[in-house]
């Protein structure tokens, strides 16, 4: 499954509500790939020619139907998956800390579930989070 030399840029947001809860989504299991079946923060692939901030807003809107305010950029990080001597996947994550502004939370077509989770409850479902989401929440000082 060699993807040539393409690096994927994944953009997203750690979105909080007025009570400090964080929004997590879970992709439908039919959508294979490294994010399937685990809780993640809303986001997806940045499109060619699309500004990062626009990409974050679009992905959040598509997955949750929410409008957000982007508060501050978070430190980028990456995931490199080796397959023998080849690199199978190289993802760079660019996320912002964000606040929910408006809209009714409605999971998008590729999202099976979406829910607001309190900081204390995140510890209870820690093993259900994607490994990269765990890293992201640590970068965001949520945990």
Q: Which domain holds residue 113?
A: 8-139
pLDDT at residue number 28: 76
Whether 3 is covered by a domain: the verdict is no
* CATH code (residue 60): 3.90.79.10
Give the pTM: 0.91
Number of domain units in the chain? 1
Res 27: pLDDT: 81
Residue range 1-18: mean pLDDT, rounded? 85
- Give a yes or no: residue 2 inside a domain: no
The β-bridge partners of 49 are none
Question: What pLDDT was estimated at residue 1?
Answer: 47
pLDDT of residue 80: 95
Which residues contact residue 125 at a Cβ distance below 8 angstroms, ignoring those fewer than 6 apart?
Answer: 39, 117
pLDDT tens digits for range 98-135: 999 999 999 988 888 999 999 999 999 999 999 999 99
| In-domain check, residue 47 | yes
Whether the CB-CB separation of 45 and 130 falls below 8 Å is answered with no
pLDDT tens digits for range 36-83: 689 999 999 999 999 999 999 999 999 999 999 999 999 999 999 998
How are beta strands 86-102 and 8-16 bridged, if at all? parallel
pLDDT of residue 139: 98
Query: Torsions phi, psi of 127, nearest 5?
Result: -75, -15
């Amino acid at each position: 499954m060699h993807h040539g030399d393409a690096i994927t840029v994944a953009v997203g947001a750690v979105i909080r509500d007025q009570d400090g809860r964080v929004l997590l989504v879970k992709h439908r299991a039919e959508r294979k790939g490294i994010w399937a079946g685990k809780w993640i923060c809303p986001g997806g692939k940045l499109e060619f020619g699309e500004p990062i901030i626009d990409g974050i807003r679009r992905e959040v809107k598509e997955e949750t139907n929410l409008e957000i305010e982007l508060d501050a950029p978070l430190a980028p990080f990456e995931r490199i998956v080796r397959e023998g001597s080849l690199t199978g996947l190289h993802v760079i994550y660019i996320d912002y800390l964000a606040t929910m502004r408006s809209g009714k939370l409605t999971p998008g077509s590729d999202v099976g579930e979406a829910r607001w989770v309190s900081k204390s409850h995140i510890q209870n479902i820690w093993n259900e989070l994607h490994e990269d989401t765990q890293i992201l929440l640590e970068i965001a000082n949520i945990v």
